[in-house]
Structure 1
Amino acid sequence: MSNTYKVLIIGAGPIGIACALECKKRNWDYVVLEKGALTNSLFNYPKNMTFFSTSEKLEIDGIPFISINPKPNRDEALEYYRRVATSNELNIHLYEKVLAIERLKEHFTITSSKTEYQVDKVIIASGFYDIPTLLNVPGEDLPKVTHYYNEAHPYAMQDVIVVGASNSSVDAALEIWRKGGNVTMVIRGSNIGERVKYWVKPDILNRIEEGSIKAYYHSEIVEIKEAEVSIKTPDGNKTLPNDFVVALTGYRPNFEFLINAGIKLSDGVARLPQYDPETMETNVSGLYLAGVICGGMETHKWFIENSRIHAKMIANHIETVSANPKTTM
């Protein structure tokens, strides 16, 4: 089997699948490499998660996404993207991690956990869900601390601190409370996040107001111990009894991987990767970005419904460059 392709796509999430569909329509030799399961980030979302977007906004390549709910849930999305990938017989290699991208003259050498590839073009559509933003406090490495939330049952009848005020934090707090957990939220800001789903926000505010869920605003964890957590609040430090900490403080792209591939990042907190917004090509000729990874630390900027167009933009540019090799970024 040859390991030479026109296009290699990193990441088999919705946008990576959309890129593969564009390659297939053009009869290009392509391969998708995914370090985990198909749509790995979606698979690791909470089991009961409901999307903010309606199903038609999550569709790729015009393939209908039929949902029995006004807004689809995680399981429906997994089924949809799996069926898109399998029915179109896309060339996807799962559980194969990309280790390095090396530009060699007009081609790239891609080293994976299994083999090596020679390709003309590379599309990075790897998302940002793999590296959590850490609290950087003593005790964060204790087994009772997690940066991912799956389901509420393990936290029943336990003292649980949920860190953050985003959609994921609010969903976790409400679910754990409804399954019998004693929930305390530790929030750095002055209120629940502005982007929290509009049908959920009144629920969490009412639970906080009635005292069912305790919330400390303008507060942060300073130390985690086996049976308690110390937090800094406007009223001074407090020590709370604790069994579990669910620290949903956000995630970030693998910046080291991008830098090693030669992609330049902006200075400052955002760390935006350099790319042409008309073509999605980075400062490295022939290397493209697609999907949420384009936003750097601004992880709310890009999502499925507004980045699915990246696949066609990239494919159109590759087609133009192939017809006119002198065309560059």
Structure 2
Amino acid sequence: MKTDSAFDVVVIGAGPVGLACALEVQRRGLTVCVVDKGALVNSLIGYPTNMEFFSTPELLEIGGYPMTTLHYKPLREDALDYYRRVAFAEKLTLRLYERVTGLEGEQGSYEVVTEKGRIGARSVIVATGFYDIPNYLRVPGEDLPHVTHYYKEPYAHADQDVVVIGAKNSSAKAALQLLRAGARPVLVVRSEEISQSVKYWIRPDLVNRIKEGRIGCLFNTTVQRITPTTVEVLTPDGPRTLPAQHVYALTGYHPDFRFLTALGITCQSDAAQTPTHNADTLETNRPGLYLAGTVCGGLNTSRWFIENGRYHAQLIAARLAGEAAPSLPEVLQPVQL
């Protein structure tokens, strides 16, 4: 397959951090292409409708462009519009809906292999995040059509029994929205309480709705089987069967480790399966191949987010341009949630 174009840098992933990497590289006079298997900021498109970010606008900004919003904290729609406008304003070269399948060659003469061709690159940056691969329950019935690992909006579930599996932010918000849209939500939680990491303005609301009995909740409980109409669980008091017209298994997500392996990136043997990279330069075990953003943390998906991951762009771009490492704020340290 012939290489149909060549750039100084190819960025894999068109999310906020990938776009930040591309514009920082381009501003240093290097040619760059952003390639993604899906849409521009594809993960944000998959977020719940009208989702409110936990961060204020200035923490989500890239490239010095101000993010404007009518709200104290931006909504999903604000961010989608913002990152599109930044990408267009910078005239970034985008190759969307083009899945990368491998990486051949070496630093200075890489070829990014995609389903549509090959893209030449002296260096490559991987900013693929973690939102594409759910943490599966691995129980019978998980593949049924009424079971999903992504929550969008509650309105289709009015007057329906809905089981929500999990007890962190996404599960908490889903259960509250489902209740207020007329559904009958029940939370299934492995631990003994709602996670303390749930945001401080969400957790009391959920806890109080559980106390009122308006949201059902089973603690220290695991899912054993899902049928077309029920969820079978094991509680401390024994087995129970819950009615369910829909099931949201909001059990988190993880990076695509098979994809990282296909690129030649090894992972550490720690609990997080951290992809091998130099913490100071973000270069992986393959010279000229870099990581940026959430993917750096492996299974520890709360280690990096847009707020601090966007600064990876400056570190990598400076290195590729032969500049001294920039002085960065303390926010570059991992986010503690």
TM category, shorter: over 0.9
Instruction: Tell me the distance in 1 between the aligned counterparts of 2:76 and 2:183.
Output: 23
Query: 177-186 vs 84-93, which deviates more?
Result: 84-93
Counterpart mapping for 1:10-89 below 5 A: 10-89=12-91
Q: Give 1:162's match in structure 2, choosing from 160, 164, 179.
A: 164
Q: Find 2:116's aligned residue among 114, 129, 147.
A: 114
Listed as ranges, the gaps of 5+ residues in structure 2 are: 324-337
Q: Deviations over 1:142-181 (max 9, x none)?
A: 1110010111011111110000011111111111111011
Q: Distance in 2 between matches of 1:212 and 1:275?
A: 47
Offset of residue 83 of structure 1 = 0.7
1:320 maps to 322
Matches of 1:178 and 1:267 in 2, distance apart? Answer: 44
Asked if the contact 2:160–2:184 (Cα under 8 Å) also holds between the matched residues in 1, the reply is: yes
Deviation sequence 1:2-22 (CA, Å, 0-9, x none): 511110000110001101111
Change beyond 3 A, Cα 1:86–1:105: closer
CA change 1:106–1:141 in 2 (3 A) is same
Question: In structure 1, what is the equivalent of residue 211 of structure 2?
Answer: 209
1:38-59 superposed Cα distances (whole Å, 9 cap, x missing partner): 1000111000211111000001
The number of equivalent residue pairs is: 322
**One of 243, 246, 256 as aligned partner of 1:244:** 246
User: What whole-Å deviation, never above 9, does each CA across 1:162-211 have from its counterpart, x for those lacking one?
Assistant: 00011111111111111011100001112112221211111101100110
Q: Distance in 1 between the 2:6 and 2:92 partners? A: 16
Structure 1 counterpart of 2:187, one-letter code: M
How far, CA to CA, are the matches of 1:210 and 1:5 in structure 2?
59
Alignment RMSD? 1.5
Distance in 2 between residues matched to 1:181 and 1:214, nearest whole Å: 11
Equivalence for 2:154 = 152
> Deviation string for 1:43-82 (max 9, x for gaps)?
1100021111100000112211112111111001111111
Q: For the Cα contact (< 8 Å) 2:107–2:123, is it kept in 1?
A: no
Which residues of 2 match residues 154-303 of structure 1 at below 5 A?
Answer: 154-303=156-305
Deviation sequence 1:95-129 (CA, Å, 0-9, x none): 11111112346421111121111211000001111
Q: Return the alpha-carbon distance in structure 2 between the equivalents of residues 102 and 217 of structure 1.
A: 49
AA aligned opposite 2:211: E
Q: Distance in 1 between matches of 2:17 and 2:108?
A: 25
Q: Secondary structure at the match of 1:320?
A: coil
Within 2, Cα distance between the matches of 1:188 and 1:7? Answer: 44
> Aligned pair 1:130/2:95, yes or no?
no
Deviation track 1:206-258 (CA, whole Å, cap 9, x = no partner) reads 10011000111111110001111110111111111111110000111010111
Give the letter aligned to residue 151 of structure 1: E
**Deviation larger for 101-110 or 279-288:** 101-110
One-letter amino acid of the counterpart of residue 80, structure 2? L
CA distance in 1, matches of 2:107, 2:34: 22
Structure 2 distance, partners of 1:254, 1:52, is 25
- SS state of the match for residue 116, structure 1? strand
Quote the residue 1:9 is aligned against. 11
Q: Structure 1 stretch 211-220 or stretch 188-197: which is displaced more?
A: 188-197
Q: Calculate percent identity across the aligned residue pairs.
A: 48
Aligned to 1:327: none
Matching of residues 92-103 of structure 1 within 5 Å: 92-103=94-105
> How many Å separate the matches in 2 of 1:257 and 1:24?
26
TM-score, scaled to structure 1: 0.95
SS at match of 1:3: strand
